[in-house]
Structure formats: structure tokens, C-alpha cells
Structure 1
């Protein structure tokens, strides 16, 4: 089974390497992590600091905004299709 780690745990692990000067292999061993996992966390941290770790089930602000826009577009397209059908029905009634 895959382990999940919360944001605080990830930040603490990264800080042990970045601020305390410990080696990645040492921190990974201490925390029972794969070294590659810790490498990935460090890369993410360097790009976005603590905001890089959004937590399980959460998304970044940019991803949420994009998802909201896509949902809004789908809703508007659906409304448009309904209105076109309604126009067709009313046009038939006019004849």
C-alpha cells in the first residue's frame, strides 16, 4: 500500500536537508522514505516553497481556477444546447 504524507511532514523533511544541512540519504533513512521521494519533494519545494505541497485531495490555486473555468464552459455549452433546442421547438409552433 502506498503511504501518504501531510504537508507538514514534507516541509519538515525538506528543511532537514535544506536548512539543517543533512544529506538526503540520511534524512530518507531517518524518516523511512525512498531517497527519490525526498528528491522530488525538494524539487517541488524549490519551485513553490511550502505552497508546492497542497495536500491529499487538494489542488493548487491555478489548477482549481482552471477546473472552475472548464466547468463553467461546460455549463454554458449545455445551456446553449438547451436554448437551441427550445428555439427549434418554438419555431415549429410558430408555423
Structure 2
């Protein structure tokens, strides 16, 4: 039997600290190596932070949605259910 891999999770503050450090350093690969993470993860965090989202890194995969986005999601789910009933 194989060993089950557990996914690492990082706090919002840790991600913000890493982003800050990445802008201060010339070599992101070196920073990633020092922190024990992949450079692609730093780039992903930087992109999420720079996307102008009001709430970057909501945590545990839970999106924080605006009321309009919540209503849109609800309506899409309702439409999908109606189509299935037909």
C-alpha cells in the first residue's frame, strides 16, 4: 500500500510574507528553495494577490463571494436542477 500524501496548507499571513520577500529578492527560485516550496507556488500566490481580489487567499478552498456572485451561483444551480427535471 502506498503512503497517502497530505496536502500542505499555508496561512494567509505566511503567503503574504512570502509575496513580500519575493518582490525584494532577485531570484525567486532561490527563495523557494530556502522556504522548501516550489517557485511555481510563489508565482501563483503573487498572481492571486495581484489580481485585485478584495479577499485573496480565503483559505481551505472556500471562496468569498460578493452578494451578486452568490446570487448568480444560486441561479445557475437552480437552472441546472430545472434542466435535469425535464
TM over 0.5: yes
Which segments of 5 or more consecutive residues in structure 2 lack a partner in the other structure?
1-5
Task: Name the residue aligned to 1:44.
Answer: 48
* Counterpart Cα distance in 2 of 1:12 and 1:50: 18
Q: Following TM superposition, by how much is the alpha carbon of 1:61 offset from its aligned partner in structure 2, in angstroms?
A: 2.6
How high is the TM-score relative to the length of structure 2?
Answer: 0.63
Alignment partners' CA distance in 1, 2:68 and 2:48: 20
Q: Work out the number of aligned pairs and report it.
A: 74
Q: CA RMSD in A?
A: 2.8
Structure with the bigger percentage of helix: 1
Q: Please name the residue that 2:14 is paired with.
A: 9
- Cα gap change, 1:13/1:49 in structure 2, threshold over 3 Å: closer, same or farther? farther
Unaligned runs of 5+ in 1: 79-95
What is the TM-score of this pair, normalised by structure 1? 0.58
Higher gyration radius (CA): 1
Task: Give the match's secondary structure for 1:61.
Answer: coil
Contact 1:10 1:41 (C-alpha < 8 Å) held by counterparts: yes
Q: 1:53 aligns with which of 37, 54, 57?
A: 57
